[in-house]
Amino acid sequence: MSRTCLSALSVGILLLASSFLGASMAGEPTPVRGGTLIAAIYPEPVTLTATYNNQYANRVISANIFDGLVYYDDKFQPRPRLATSWEVAADGLSITFHLRKGVTWHDGVPFTSADVKYSALEVWKKVHSRGRSTFSALKDVETPDDDTAIFRLSSPSQVILSALDGAESQVVPKHIFDGGDIRKSPENARPIGTGPFRFKEWKRGQYVVLEKNPDYWDKGKPYLDRVIYRFIPDAAARSGALESGEVSYIPYAGVPFSDIARLKKNPELKFESRGYAYAAQTYFIGFNLRSPVLSNLNVRQAIAHIIDRQRLIDTVWYGQSKPEYSVVPESLTRFYTSDIPRYAYDVAKAGALLDEAGYPVKAGGKRFTLRLYTDPSSGQFLLAGEFLRQEFSKIGIDIAFSPLDNATFLKKVYSDYDYDIIFQGFGVMLDPQMGLTRVFDSKAQSPGVPYANAFAYSSPATDRLITAYQNEVDPQRRIDVFHQFQRQTLTDLPLLPVMEAPFFTVYNRKLQGLDFSPAGAHSGFRDAWIAAQP
C-alpha cells in the first residue's frame, strides 16, 4: 500500500461504505457496516502470531486474525468461541471440547480437532512462554472425530480453562506449521487464521493491513471492512494523529501522559481503563542473579529500599497508577495476601545493607556500576530509567542506562542474559499460575524464550510451591499455596514488584462496539463499527 493510499484512508477514516441504519428495537444503535479503522501502536510487532512471543503488539494485531477456543466475559468466565461447549471429568483428569462446525481457515481449509491437538501439544506446551507452565499437566489431546478434542491431564488443573482465548492460546493451522519450528516459520509474517480479519499486508516500519473475512463463522461479523495498524514511534505524534482524526484508536496508554489532561477536553475523544484486567500486568525490577554483586541478597534488599514507588508514579506517569508490593497484584483479590515482606523507602537502611554486603563507598562516592535496561514498549520507560538512575545514585550505585529497541532488548535479556537490572512489565494474568510460573520456576529458564525466567533464579522452596499450586485440587488450599509463594519470592527477591501497569485506551467517540471485557484490549475488532457522520 502506497503512502498516497494510506493518506487517503487516513483522511477518509470516518467515511463509511454504507449509511446509518437507525436504532434497534431495544433502543441501541444498529451497527453500521463498512469503513476503515486506523489504530496506532508501538513498538512494531516482531511476529503476527502470539504463539511464542506474547508481547502486546503481537497480541493486539493477531487476535483479529486468530480465534481461541473461548473468550472471557465480565466475570472472567469462559464463553464459547471455537469450542461451543466443554465438560470437565468428575476426576478432573480430562476436559472434552466440542468444536464449532463449519469453520474454515482463511485459505479455505476446514478447521478440525487436529488443529487444536497440534496447537496444544506442539505450540502452547513447547514454545509459548506462559503456556509451557500453564499446560504442564496436559499429556495428550485425543481427537475421536473432527469436532471433538479431549484434553488428557496427568493431574487436575484449575488453570487451563483460564488460558484459552485468542490472544493467550491461539489455535493455529496444523497444515501450515506442522513439520517445522513455528518460531522460524515465514508464515508468522503472513498468518492464516480463522478470525474475523484476514492478513493483507505488512509494510515493515509503517503498518499492517487486515481485511474483513467474508467467510467468518460468526455470520454478519465483522462490521468493518478494514483495520490498519500504524507504527508511530513518537508518542507525541500518536497524540497528534488522534486529535487530527488520522488515527481513531490507541491502546495501552500510547499517548504522552503529559497530554492526558488536554486530550480529555477534546469532545471527539474518549478514555477507557477497562479491558486490561485479565492480564493483571505489573511493572517489576528484575535482577540478573548471575552477577556477583546482585547475587548478594543484601544488595537486592538495599535496592528495594530506595524505590519510592509513589514518587516514580507521580513523576513519570503523572499519578496514573498505584504502587504494587506483592508479586500477585492486589486487584487479584482471590489470590493476594498482604502478609508479605515489605521494603519501605529508607535510604539510610539501604546504605547500611550495602556496607554489610561488603560494598563501601569509594573515592568519588561510588560503590559499583550496574547496567539497566527498560522495557522498550513505551517512552515513559525511558523517563523511568532516568528516575531510577538518580535514585540509585543516592546510595552510591552508578547506573549505566542504555535505551534499547525491542529486538535488541529481547536478545540481550532473554537470549544472551547480558544485563544486570531490567525494569519491565509482566502479565500476572487472571490466574497467577499463568503469569508467574514462567518467571520464577527454575525449569522455565530457556535461552531465546521471551518473558521467561531470565534471572537465574532457582529456589527448591519456590519450585515446590509451584508444583503444589499446579496440582492442588482444593481451591482454598491452592490459594493458601499462592500466599506462601508470595512470601517466599519476596524474601528471595529475584524480582521487585513496583507498580500497576497504567494502561488505558483513547479512541474517537464515533468508534462503537469496542470490547471492554477483562481481556478486551487484546481481543480484536470483531464487534467494532464506526457511526455515520451526522
d(Cα 80, Cα 424) in Å, to the nearest integer? Answer: 33
421-427 vs 368-374, strand pairing mode: parallel
- How much is the pLDDT for 27? 61
Is the peptide bond between 222 and the residue preceding it cis, with omega within 30 degrees of 0?
yes
Residue 186 lies in a domain: no
DSSP conformation letters of 108-152: SPBP-HHHHHHIIIIIITTT-TTHHHHTTTEEEEEEEETTEEEEE
Residue 190 lies in a domain: no
- How much is the pLDDT for 138? 97
Residue 435 lies in a domain: yes
Amino acid at the residue 173:
P
C-alpha cell at 382: 525511558
Q: Are residues 463 and 363 part of one domain?
A: yes
Residue 11 lies in a domain: yes
Query: How many structural domains does the chain have?
Result: 3
Contact call for residues 289 and 494 (beta carbons, < 8 A): yes
Q: Are residues 222 and 245 part of one domain?
A: yes
Residue 438 lies in a domain: yes
- How much is the pLDDT for 130? 87
- How much is the pLDDT for 55? 87
Q: Are residues 507 and 490 part of one domain?
A: no
Contact call for residues 269 and 276 (beta carbons, < 8 A): no
Q: For the chain, what percentages of helix, strand and coil (3-state, to nearest 5) are there?
A: 30, 20, 50
Q: Are residues 203 and 121 part of one domain?
A: no
Which one of 147, 177, 207 terminates a domain?
Answer: 177
Q: Are residues 91 and 25 part of one domain?
A: no
CATH code for the domain of 88: 3.90.76.10
Amino acid at the residue 436:
L
Q: Are residues 424 and 337 part of one domain?
A: yes
Q: Residue 157 contacts by C-beta under 8 Å, 6 or more apart in sequence? A: 92, 137, 138, 470
φ, ψ of residue 462 in degrees (nearest 5): -65, -40
Q: Residue 409 contacts by C-beta under 8 Å, 6 or more apart in sequence? A: 373, 375, 376
Q: Are residues 270 and 381 part of one domain?
A: no
Q: Which residue has the cell 503523572?
A: 318
Residue-wise pLDDT tens digits, 269-324: 999 999 999 999 999 999 999 999 999 999 999 999 999 999 999 999 999 999 99
Q: Which residue has the cell 467515511?
A: 15
Q: Are residues 405 and 333 part of one domain?
A: yes
Residue 61 lies in a domain: yes
- How much is the pLDDT for 22? 38
CATH code for the domain of 32: 3.40.190.10
CATH code for the domain of 399: 3.10.105.10
d(Cα 517, Cα 515) in Å, to the nearest integer? Answer: 6
Dihedral sign, CA of 471, 473, 475, 481?
negative
Q: Are residues 434 and 363 part of one domain?
A: yes
Q: Are residues 455 and 344 part of one domain?
A: yes
pLDDT under 50: residue ranges of the chain: 2-26
Residue 185 lies in a domain: no
d(Cα 127, Cα 258) in Å, to the nearest integer? Answer: 39
C-alpha cell at 239: 497524540
d(Cα 248, Cα 242) in Å, to the nearest integer? Answer: 6
Contact call for residues 391 and 399 (beta carbons, < 8 A): no
- How much is the pLDDT for 426? 94
Residue-wise pLDDT tens digits, 107-145: 999 999 999 999 999 999 999 988 888 999 999 999 999
Q: Are residues 463 and 316 part of one domain?
A: yes
DSSP H/E element including 349: helix 347-356
Q: Are residues 481 and 412 part of one domain?
A: yes
Q: Residue 517: give the domain boundaries.
A: 3-65+195-276+503-530
Q: Which residue has the cell 508514579?
A: 313
d(Cα 135, Cα 359) in Å, to the nearest integer? Answer: 43
- How much is the pLDDT for 19? 35
Residue 512 lies in a domain: yes
φ, ψ of residue 501 in degrees (nearest 5): -60, 130
Is the peptide bond between 43 and the residue preceding it cis, with omega within 30 degrees of 0?
yes
Quick one: which of 237, 507, 254, 239 has its CA closest to 377?
A: 254
